Chain A
Amino acid sequence: MGFDIFHELFLKTGIIHLTIGHVFMWLIGFLFIFLAIKKNFEPLLLVPIGFSIFLVNMPIAPLTGPGELINLFFKYGIETEIIPCLIFLGVGALTDFGPMIANPKTLLIGASAQLGVYVAFFGSIVLGFTVKEAASIGIIGGADGPTSIYLSSALAPHMIGMVAIAAYSYMSMVPLIQPPIMKLLTTKKERKIRMKQLRPVTKTEKIVFPIVAAIVICLLVPDAAPLLGLLMLGNLFKECKVVDRLLKTSQNELLNIVTIILGIAVGATMKAEVFLKPQPIFIFILGLFAFAFSTAGGILLTKTMNLFLKEKINPLIGSAGVSAVPMAARVSERVGAEADPKNHLLMHAMGPNVGGVIGTAVAAGMFLGMLK
């Protein structure tokens, strides 16, 4: 009798259902948490993602089945595309578009840094992915997590987790991936180019910009409207200076809440039975290619522009065309300072950096317009 009760209790524990796959996923979860805490790689995302990987790989835990907690986060937050858009609202409320308004041609650098998106797109087709899946993988090259999630939830929902993990992993590794490519594609003389100080941008320009940008983009690429519309609304909150409470909520509480839900929901897609297949490895490799080519695309366009411009642009700011804000701009500053410690590129690099955010969202909108 006593033995039967213990036997029944034992059968109801997760221990008996534990597999090597689950333990392997725990190690991946641990790696994410380690990178976040010890190396400070995107801790706001990698801690919830890493812990969520632990949770969903606890056998028979009621978390991801229909109607269960994390399933609801995913269903109502990610599948409905609400969370990526709300994150863009917060990003807009935190972003200063001033450097881009002062030097609008840096937007073109943001466009050229989408090169990797299309390189990875073709790479994915070669590896046997469908066109919709290839678009979801390619967008990793834009180095924009919310946009990657937004696009893959519409085109390839079964791949959201892998795409999001790859995008956020490479975003956190910007300081490791970009500098070698930047040094390879530029000469020391080019890295020393000093740029003229940016002109001051008036308050009127900063207030009118989000309205103009929303009109132009929403008319030209309607499918990018949910993302860029909220990005511009957040920015209007910031610049108009009359909605302080809404601004603070967008920048802090709202952004923090959706980041927690996003991290948990994304981590929950990494279940052993889904993740331990060759597909995620291909996605990670293609993502790295995408990221490298996007970095190169931005630098090469800047060098091409220099052939025609009287006032030269330091090509190091080209790498900031990927949209990892503001990390990519900081990398430009750091690599520039290695060549000339008195040369400060940060503000110049913020132009292509925020241009890259817009560029990636437009690229996603173009994919959606053609493939949805």
Chain B
Amino acid sequence: MWDEAIRVATIGFSGVFAVLVILTISIKVMSYFCKLIDKKGGKR
């Protein structure tokens, strides 16, 4: 049981971090493109 518990906790905690790091990067990229779109829209 301890083996399974350690596996679940290790994968779980690092998984949460990994997903949120990817989401952080995605938001940065999204913001960059949104600003670009807004700038283009503003110029028109």
Contact across chains for A358 and B12 when beta carbons are under 8 A apart: no
Given contacts A110-B20, A217-B19, are A367 and B30 in contact (CB under 8 A)?
no
With the chains together, A186 CA to B36 CA distance in Å? 40
Residue A134 lies at the interface, judged by CB distance under 8 Å to chain B: yes
Residue of B2, B17, B23, B35 with most partner-chain A CB within 10 A = B23
Residues of A contacting B34 with CB < 8 Å? 202, 204-205, 208
Residues of B contacting A363 with CB < 8 Å? 12-13, 16
With the chains together, A105 CA to B26 CA distance in Å? 11
Chain A residues 106-129 with CB under 8 Å of chain B are 107-108, 110-112, 114-115, 117-118, 121-122, 125
Contact across chains for A220 and B1 when beta carbons are under 8 A apart: no
Chain A residues 54-106 with CB under 8 Å of chain B are 100-101, 104-105
Contact across chains for B27 and A108 when beta carbons are under 8 A apart: no
With the chains together, A111 CA to B5 CA distance in Å? 20
Number of A residues, CB within 8 Å of B: 40
With the chains together, A205 CA to B39 CA distance in Å? 13
With the chains together, A85 CA to B18 CA distance in Å? 24
With the chains together, A135 CA to B35 CA distance in Å? 41
Residues of A contacting B15 with CB < 8 Å? 221, 362, 366
Contact across chains for A202 and B35 when beta carbons are under 8 A apart: yes
Given contacts A216-B26, A366-B11, A367-B12, are A101 and B31 in contact (CB under 8 A)?
yes
Q: How far is the CB of A13 from chain B (nearest CB, A)?
A: 48
Chain B residues 1-44 with CB under 8 Å of chain A are 1-2, 4-5, 7-9, 11-13, 15-24, 26-28, 30-31, 34-35, 37-38
Closest 10 CB pairs of A and B: A104-B27, A111-B20, A366-B12, A204-B34, A104-B24, A205-B34, A366-B15, A118-B9, A107-B20, A111-B17
Can you list 9 A-B contacts (CB < 8 A)? Answer: A101-B27, A101-B31, A104-B23, A111-B16, A121-B9, A204-B37, A213-B27, A355-B20, A363-B13
